[in-house]
């Protein structure tokens, strides 16, 4: 019988990518930690994929198309593919966040509309 799920444990690290670990086919998910005062070392955008960021711990900021967005634990942020972005931890606070990357406009049904009962 085929396994219709995969469970893994992950260790703490600066960046953990779950694509290969879980065998994902429709999303890229990473868990990221920036120490206090650190930043992602580059500005980037995407061709097709939007990103959803969930701030798990700490605080920091994102610079998106030249605008500063303050971030703290509990915040969620969606960024369009073409937006130029870069993330920073707070000067006195590390930041831990999850990044979910999916193809923009690919979701056709969700929650109850996609469920098959029984």
Predicted confidence (pLDDT) per residue in 16-35, tens digit: 888 888 989 999 999 999 99
Phi and psi at 26, nearest 5°, equal -130, 0
Residue numbers of the domain that contains 22: 15-105
Question: Per-residue pLDDT for 11 more than 90?
Answer: no
Whether residue 86 is contained in a domain is answered as yes
Query: Looking at the whole model, is its pTM more than 0.75?
Result: yes
Whether residue 1 is contained in a domain is answered as no
- The total domain count for the chain is 1
| Closest listed residue to residue 82, CA positions, set 50, 43, 106 | 50
Whether residue 3 is contained in a domain is answered as no
The rounded distance, in Å, linking the Cα atoms of 79 and 46 is 10
Whether residue 112 is contained in a domain is answered as no
CATH for 84: 2.60.120.10
Q: 41 near 113, Cβ under 8 Å?
A: no
Whether residue 23 is contained in a domain is answered as yes
Question: Per-residue pLDDT for 108 more than 90?
Answer: no
10 Å Cβ neighbour count for 51?
21
């Amino acid at each position: 019988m085929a396994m219709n799920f995969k469970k893994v444990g992950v260790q703490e690290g600066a960046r953990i990518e779950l694509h290969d670990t879980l065998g994902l086919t429709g999303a890229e998910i990473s868990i990221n930690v920036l120490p206090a005062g650190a930043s992602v070392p580059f500005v980037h955008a995407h061709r097709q994929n939007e990103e959803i960021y969930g701030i798990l711990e700490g605080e920091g900021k994102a610079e998106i198309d030249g605008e500063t967005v303050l971030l703290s634990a509990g915040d969620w942020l969606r960024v369009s593919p073409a937006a130029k972005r870069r993330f920073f931890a707070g000067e006195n606070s590390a930041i831990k966040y999850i990044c979910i990357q999916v193809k923009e406009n690919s979701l056709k049904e969700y929650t109850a509309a996609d469920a098959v009962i029984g």
